[in-house]
Chains A and B, each alone.
Chain A
Amino acid sequence: DAKTTQPPSMDCAEGRAANLPCNHSTISGNEYVYWYRQIHSQGPQYIIHGLKNNETNEMASLIITEDRKSSTLILPHATLRDTAVYYCIVTWAGSYQLTFGKGTKLSVIP
C-alpha cells in the first residue's frame, strides 16, 4: 500500500470548515483513499473513501486531486465532537490490512 503523509495536528474553530490534507504521491491506479477517525481511544470510525472522483456523504467530503497524489477531507461545519485523530489510509480493493499511521490530531476550538 502507498505511504501517506499527514500533518501531526491542526486546529479549527467551531462552526468553520475543517480541511485535513493527505499526501499519497506513490498511489497506484487501483488504490483507494480511505479516511477514518478515532475519538479519544474509541474504535476507529469510517468516514469516507474514494478512488478518483470527489465524494460526499453525510459526514464529510473527499476531494482527490486529478493526479491522485493528494487529497483533502473536508468537515463542512466542525463541532466539538469532531475533535479526534483522523487517519488517511491508501489501500487497494483486494487488501484487508489497513495500515494506520500517526494521523492528524484535529482540535476543534470553541
Chain B
Amino acid sequence: KAGVTQTPRYLIKTRGQQVTLSCSPISGHRSVSWYQQTPGQGLQFLFEYFSETQRNKGNFPGRFSGRQFSNSRSEMNVSTLELGDSALYLCASSLASGGIHPSFFGPGTRLTVL
C-alpha cells in the first residue's frame, strides 16, 4: 500500500509570490490534515479536510488556504509569501474525520522563502 505522498519535496520562492502544495493520501483514506513545522514552533495544525469539506482550522492567517478533491487529494495554497512562511509542510491522512489521531504522515514539502 503506497504511503502519503507530497509534491514537490522542495520549493524555493520569493516574498510576495504564492505557492501550491499537493498531498495524496493513502488509498481509501478520506481525511487529510496539514501541519506546519518550524524549529521555533514545532508542528502546528493548519486545517483538516474530509469529503471535500474543511472540518477544522488552526490559527493561521487567511493567506493559508486549502481544498480537497473528490479523489481525496488535497492542495494547500499560501499567497503573498512572507519570510516566516519558510517551513516544512506536512500532510497526514486518516480513514475518517475526527479520528483519534493521524497515523500516517507524508515526508513533507520544504518551502524556503527568500
**A joins B in a complex:** no
Q: List residues of chain A with CB under 8 Å of any chain B CB.
A: none
